[in-house]
Amino acid sequence: MRPWAYETADIPGLNATIKQSPDDFIVEELPLFEPSGEGTHLYLTLRKRGVSTFEVADRLARALKLAPKTIGYAGLKDKHGVATQTFSLPGIPVEALSGLELPGVSVVATALHGHKLRRGKLAGNRFSITLRNVDRSRQSEVDEQITRLGEHGVPNYFGTQRYGVRLSNHLIGRALLREDWDEVVGLTLGRPAHADTDPRVHRARELHDAGRLEEAAAEWPRHFAVERAMAVQLVRRPDDARGAVGRLRRRERSLYLNALQSYLFDSLLEQVVIERLDTPPFGLLPGYKVKATDAVLSEPELVAAVLPGIDTASVFRRERLKGARRALRLRPVISHNWIEDGLVLAFDLPSGGYATSVLRELIKGDPAIPRP
């Protein structure tokens, strides 16, 4: 296992602390369009602190008695930071927000529009990131590196946030496509790791691996709803791994399958970085609708190596994985400012670009990625 290859591998990583507090990682959505002011969908712009997009959507659904799937948002934002983000709510009058209290969330603006806010309908994101405890003796070297990244760009990896805290989402996605139900269950409910910081989660995984299914099901914390549901199903029917996997919600299933797509793209991009290839501007995110062209780099042999013996066109269609083309490089304009105890970075990225693409080049602290 190893991290994805770095563009500036010749420059040592910078010792720094990321996200010492939520205010050290600030992101603001850049909308693709402005709400029309008329329609049946309430566009609610919120500032959230210490909560994820999924958590906010679920809390809104419960508070306003909406089905979670009817709530729209353009993209996912990390819980570890401060994010300004817009949600769409069908059929909700602005008066219904009176008295609405969501921990860690405040209302910035409201407006009406004619349709739901869809995923990806975003111009980009504006970041302000403060690195703390930075080694000031390397200031001139860092200044030069930031200039170099601005000139040459950074590899547009999806990166570790797509693979989950346990760095296993793509492995679960692969097992789903291969219909290896035992492997899906094992990765989801067993195999404890250092990333399982909650002692109850670590214990639940140990109990599952030991075959003590009833104890494992009882140990899962309540907010691990999917894992609990799968574990309870296994207690009812211990030999029915497929039935347990059937307890996955569509949201989690899509998360795992999208992580596999991301892994395949990142693998392709790493080849470009390592071999310094002169490539087209875009790479292929595999799916049943997207095709390689002169402007889009693809590597079918790589997909075949990760998914051997599988009719990928058929399974991608079955799982509704359309695919897409994605820029191989980002070219952000990075401004930076040295402060007493750190370094402040400010830059905009287009929709689908991650701030980690910039940060990883400076810090070089990525974990090793499990390779199928």
| Residues with active-site annotation | 78
Paired with 82 in beta bridges are: 26, 49
**Helix 139-152 vs helix 356-363: angle between axes, to the nearest 10 degrees?**
140
**Closest C-alpha among 274, 43, 252 to residue 168:** 252
**Closest C-alpha among 85, 96, 92 to residue 113:** 92
What phi-psi label fits residue 44: left (phi over 0), alpha (psi between -120 and 50 degrees) or beta?
A: beta
3-class DSSP assignment, residue 97: helix
Q: Are 350 and 124 in contact (CB under 8 A)?
A: yes
Which single residue is written with the structure tokens 């670009």? 353
Q: Are 314 and 87 in contact (CB under 8 A)?
A: no
Q: Are 361 and 6 in contact (CB under 8 A)?
A: yes
CA distance 240 to 337: 57
What length does the chain have?
A: 372
CA distance 184 to 180: 6
Q: Are 346 and 150 in contact (CB under 8 A)?
A: no
Tell me, what DSSP letter sits at residue 47? E
